[in-house]
Structure 1
Amino acid sequence: MNRRPALLAVAALTTAAALSLSACGGGDGDSKSDDKIEGAGNSETKSPSPKASKDAIERPEIKLPKGVKNVFEGTETGDPKKDAVLADHKRVINSVDEAITVKARKHPALKFYSKGDALTSAATYIQSFYDAGVTWTGETRYYDHAVTFLKDGAAAVTYCGDETKSYSKNRKTGAVKKTPGDSDDYVSYNTRMEKNSKGVWQATMVTSEEGAKKCQP
């Protein structure tokens, strides 16, 4: 596998899942508190001002660092409802990767676009990078998107991820570990999205399968 750090022990996963998830913090500093997912964080630290989007929803800005790129294929279907789901789904992915790759006290987009089990699993995933002392760089490709609207008003988004061109990067030294891609770098995902009162589609549950044959070339 290229970008994903080693899986944490069950006890560590349980601890991370129990943390308050109002924000994600961390970075390259020496303080241990800077390497943990924060709750309220420093009350004196102000979050970036949200920006209005085309749909008039004020959204927190998401910026990935230089060298980190997510490529989304087939996310404009021509169906306005499906395209709205996919637009916020892209922001879900980018918000998680921003929390992994950008040193900041808070990452407001993380909780803006994820909640419930999806937020808990995202926090665990992000924390695994900090605990391993790594981030990632390169390009991750997402493709074969499909949106299915469910009877309860939610939407299911299925898609594939190709991580063969994204690599683990040491947080302190900046050294990039480039390894040949393998079958585990092709991942199948299924995300449940629910629309909140603001009109934002949020991820509420995510399942994945590494090495999915349907996602491999």
Structure 2
Amino acid sequence: MNRPARLVPAALTASAALLSTACGSGGGDGASSDRIAGADTAETPSASPSGSATADGIDRPEIKLPSDMKLVFEGRRTGDAAKDAILADNEQTVSTVWQAMAHGDVKRSGMAFYYTDDALAGVYQYAKGAIAKRTSWAGTLRYYDRQVTVFDKKSAALTYCVDESGADLKDRETNKLQGTKTTSDSYVHYNLGLKKNADGVWQTWDLTEDRGSQKCQP
């Protein structure tokens, strides 16, 4: 089975800082948990144009991924309204990074709507690098073992695993797949810091990843 070389998400998930080796974003080495590269930069994108208002009344950016880029999110319903809202926002969060890569457009990706602070700076620099190298991916990413901890009405944490074994790097212009083997590094554990903004959106402000984590191995 092929997989993207060192897909990180994100977001991360997230998945979040993604395809780190191919795009030079400097993710973890599989043995330790590292903050996403570029998190200390002051350059960040502006929020993307809004889409239509959703059921919660929030005017969110429109997200459209290509047909060969599929995301599978497990455990969408916990029975707790606050946790379910966090999980739903996280699905949109990681999708914005993939949208930037798929379409080669950072400014209209929606990342600035769902990421903030260091996490936004990191995914922005990652996406710019991927776009410059014409790098995207095709296949399926599976997000599983998603665990939410709510601290109060405006702060929370989220951990989850990503299975990258069903996806592969792709040249965005030629659509040619790279083809890489599945290893223990195909499974990544993420730890996110979240805060709820004035609009009611759960934004990711901090993000670490542990590639090859024993917590996520099949």
Sort the TM-score into its range (normalised by shorter chain): 0.7 to 0.9
2:50 aligned with 1:58: no
d(CA) in 2 for partners of 1:206 and 1:15?
A: 10
d(CA) in 2 for partners of 1:140 and 1:149?
A: 26
d(CA) in 2 for partners of 1:124 and 1:53?
A: 29
CA shift digits 1:33-76 (9 cap, x unpaired): xxxxxxxxxxxxxx655211010111111111110011100121
Aligned pair count?
192
2:173 aligned with 1:206: no
Tell me if structure 1 keeps the 8 A contact 2:86–2:202. Answer: yes
d(CA) in 1 for partners of 2:20 and 2:183?
A: 15
Considering Cα pairs closer than 8 Å and 6+ residues apart, tell me whether 1 or 2 has the greater RCO: 2
Task: Within 5 Å, give how 1:24-43 maps onto structure 2.
Answer: none
d(CA) in 2 for partners of 1:15 and 1:115?
A: 10
Counterpart amino acid of 1:20? T
> Identity across aligned pairs (percent)?
40
> What SS does the aligned partner of 2:175 have?
coil
Aligned-residue CA RMSD in angstroms? 2.3
Instruction: Could you tell me which runs of 5 or more consecutive residues in structure 1 were left unpaired when the two chains were aligned.
Output: 24-46
Which of 1, 4, 14 matches 1:2? 4
d(CA) in 2 for partners of 1:80 and 1:211?
A: 32
Instruction: Note the C-alpha offset of 1:189.
Output: 0.2
d(CA) in 1 for partners of 2:92 and 2:38?
A: 26
Alignment correspondent of 2:172: 171
Counterpart amino acid of 2:41? A
Of 48-57 and 70-79, the range deviating more from structure 2: 48-57
Alignment TM-score, normalising by the size of structure 2? 0.80
Alignment correspondent of 1:28: none
Tell me if structure 1 keeps the 8 A contact 2:101–2:136. Answer: yes
